[in-house]
Structure 1
């Protein structure tokens, strides 16, 4: 009996415990769910979508809170990169993953230290033939090359060596004269002497002339001998060719001395002068340095490379240097390095021809970068001296610079390709007031009709119609009375006529559009100063035309129809003024 009571008590306790666990936890879970529900009600998630901005890939200055079309060019907007809050206008922020994938490395710059290479300028160049030692072997008489003994480049020739054999009809006749006058040399010595001198002018030697006279026979073919020793650099004739007197057959270069021609940048010119000692190194003889002296500095700068040629003459009696061989020159610059100089690795600098650029890490705790323009001094080995634009303690990108620049360019920030310079402020066209007589205004309004037709033809990309309407507009403008106009007004009219005539004479659509840019710079201010046009005129502008400088035009329709791009970007542009 007692055992049954114990079992029943245990069962009751177990049941109560199970019920508590089941229903107690359920209540707790419900409370937890309720708490989460309350939290979701009070926590606003809409900010995530509200913070998403949309931009245009062609016009990154466009920022809109919703997707749609670009108001400038009509392209679909794309999501703008988020998380760039708090950045300056030209700063970019990269992710840690992007930094690791591109292996972007930074270095804190400081004062340079003196070394044996300080003040040394390193120049790159090539070995070239010494043009002072070049010679041309020419034919001394008219004739046909029967045999060419030297017929390939690189072949060595020695002074007096037989180069070619030529059949010369004039020499055959001259030999006949020699044989004839030889029998008269006692009675007519002057005539005999004149014939011998004639043969000497054709480079025949005394021995050759005497041999002809002694044998009494006429030779058909005559030899041409080398007058200098050297290496053939160019073969300028072939066997069977007919050559004129003085026509080149071979070009011979004496390689006993050669030129080492180096390229020096603009910022290095001030440290160079004729007579400086220069050490020349080439990969062919890596452990040797050859001494030379700067003999010439080109006075003309190469506009394409922004460099000048620096030349040194090298002795080459052992035939070590071959024309075309790459060489490096090292010389001591006139400007001395100091302990205050800031040096940066060459890998950190980007060149654009006129500018030297690098990237600064502006936030020491985050990967935030900004491009900076600097002034570069001498190159010392693998380092550059920076004279302006950096200070001690700046952290610069030393590896992966072009990757950072590409990221900046994609985000529309200041980069190597995008200088980020503000355009010069132009006077608004509405403020370019001009004074015109009523008679002129009536005549000008007549010219607007063919002008608008020309604009529509540009929209349709019809070059022939553009030319026709340009001619009509020009004819109309030429008939206006300009006697009462001021100098500024006359200048605008004359420039407009000049551009219209250029458009009319051109059948290339792109050239017509280029002239249309300048035409509108003169026509639009005139139209804005004319009172009482027949209909509302809209001054419209495309910011991408004229190499992204922007260009305007006149239209009677408010809807954009771009004459600078036609179907390619028909709706790119906006209305900037109304002429009522």
Structure 2
């Protein structure tokens, strides 16, 4: 009986110990399982799937690639938690590239506040042309530079005038006959007055009885010399302008208003004017004139306000901003951004938006451009008031996006856009109008590029560097006259990548820059119409972190510049430029 009691006690003790040691662990395992299942469920909600051969393919569910049929793999974001189309720059890169951003806003506020941009101009009503009233040679010019202030009656120049020599002799002769022939005497005096000689000058000539060869020219108004039209020793004719004199005691603020803003403007409206030179000072004026015709090229109308400038702080050419607080709100709330913020590809206009105000994270955004105003574009769609866009260093941000395989100016679907045509992949051609001289000069650059490509096959940075330097030297000699902004943008990136290759001592880093160099070379070469022989566009789908990368070659034979001997024949010809 005691033996059974001992067995039962041992069994009970084992159950208690088993629960103590394993019960909690099993429960935790169950909880962990539930948590991991929740994580997987959450991940499945946001997980996207892509193709290792065609990274432009993105699908919310696993399956096969619609292009090549390969099984899709999970598309992961960057290690820093970035989205698929976002790029992050380091603070050092931001500083070196001098990347600057600006917060954009609507041109018209919701409270009826209307903002206009413009410039200070001379008040044309106060402009005077100081002319010569007789022909002759300028013996001395007393006004030496533009911007000099003159006062009414001030000596401006001394002129040798042969015509006045004869007229003075007539006066001296007529003076002796003024008792007997007073009409003749008066006619001679009036003749001299027509040449703007004063009574005092005429009396001095008559009293001295001597002929003067040089005559002074005096200012008829006070003001500032805005333009000097003659120099000492010049021969001038009667009525020829000598100086332009502007009265800058009052100036005009000339603003550009869009069509949709005209209903909010009227003559006599109060306008508050601010300048970049004096940001803390406000000038108050009224709209004095609204131009009756529309400028068709910019789709704007000139709006004028007159400003008091007795202290002379407002200079013609200054940029100003006008704010009208009592403008009637309209339904067309437009945004304007600096031209430096926009990258234009011919068909698309893109900007880079800073998506995180606390960190240097950017993403490309396509925008629709409206009217052009001075150095700005009107944005019809693509941006919202309050968003922050890159306004300086935009090309640098775009190059970084291409290096990281993200959406960029040239390619809005990946490192190289492709389309399926007749069962084969073809590179998309961007149409460019290249001058014949440029095409001819660019042919040796293509040869230098292919030589550089063969250098990459060796996987030796010391072999690559001199080839890149040779291509860069050749590229710098090409004239860019007649090229549009898009074509110049491609050349800028090619030069930028070549410089980076020459400065690097790491073959993999050089290859990263060669990816962008090749994409831009393909874009330009596609538009060369005088190729002596066919150029082949080849692609390695595994390069550029499985995003794919292209190169140009004279031969359809594959010599992979991105892997060299490691995978020399990896790749295929995807296009032929005839």
- TM-score category by the smaller chain? 0.3 to 0.5
- Bigger CA radius of gyration: 1
With the length of structure 2 as denominator, give the TM-score of the two structures. Answer: 0.47
With the length of structure 1 as denominator, give the TM-score of the two structures. Answer: 0.47
